[in-house]
Amino acid sequence: MPVGYVQIPVGIVGPLLLDGVEYSVPMATTEGCLVASTNRGCKAINLSGGASSVLLKDAMTRAPVVRFPSARRAALVMFYLQDPANFERLSLMFNKSSRFARLQSIKCTIAGRNLYLRFSCSTGDAMGMNMVSKGVQNVLDFIKSEFPDMDVIGISGNYCSDKKASAVNWIEGRGKHVVCEAVIKGEIVEKVLKTSVEALVELNMLKNLAGSAMAGSLGGFNAHASNIVSALFIATGQDPAQNVESSHCITMLLADGDDLHISVTMPCIEVGTVGGGTQLASQSACLNLLGVKGSKKEAPGSNAQQLARIVAGTVLAGELSLMSAIAAGQLVKSHMKYNRSSRDIGPSSQVNR
Helices (H), the chain: 32-47, 71-82, 84-95, 129-146, 167-172, 186-191, 197-204, 212-214, 225-236, 243-246, 281-290, 302-327, 331-338
What angle is formed at CA 179 by the lines to CA 176 and CA 181, rounded to 5 degrees?
Answer: 150
Question: How far are the Cα atoms of 111, 143, 171, 228 from residue 316, in angstroms, in the given order?
Answer: 39, 44, 21, 9
pLDDT of residue 333: 63
Is residue 293 a contact partner of residue 196, using CB atoms and an 8 Å limit?
Answer: no
pLDDT of residue 352: 45
Average of pLDDT values for 187-212?
98
Average of pLDDT values for 204-225?
98
Which residues fall within 8 angstroms of residue 290, CB to CB, at 6 or more apart?
Answer: 23, 24, 25, 26, 236, 306, 307, 310
Supply the pTM of this predicted model.
0.93
**pLDDT digits over 234-281, tens only?**
999 999 999 999 999 999 999 999 999 999 999 999 999 999 999 999
**pLDDT digits over 317-336, tens only?**
999 999 999 999 876 565 55
SS3 content of the chain, % helix, strand, coil (to 5): 45, 25, 30
* Residues tagged active-site: 31, 163, 239, 335
Mean pLDDT of the chain: 94
Q: What is the dihedral of CA 215, 37, 9, 16, to 10 degrees?
A: -110
pLDDT of residue 36: 95
Which of the four pLDDT bands, split at 50, 70 and 90, describes residue 351?
A: very low
- The domains found in the chain, sorted by start residue, are 10-57+175-338 (3.90.770.10), 64-154 (3.30.70.420)
Is residue 118 a contact partner of residue 159, using CB atoms and an 8 Å limit?
Answer: yes
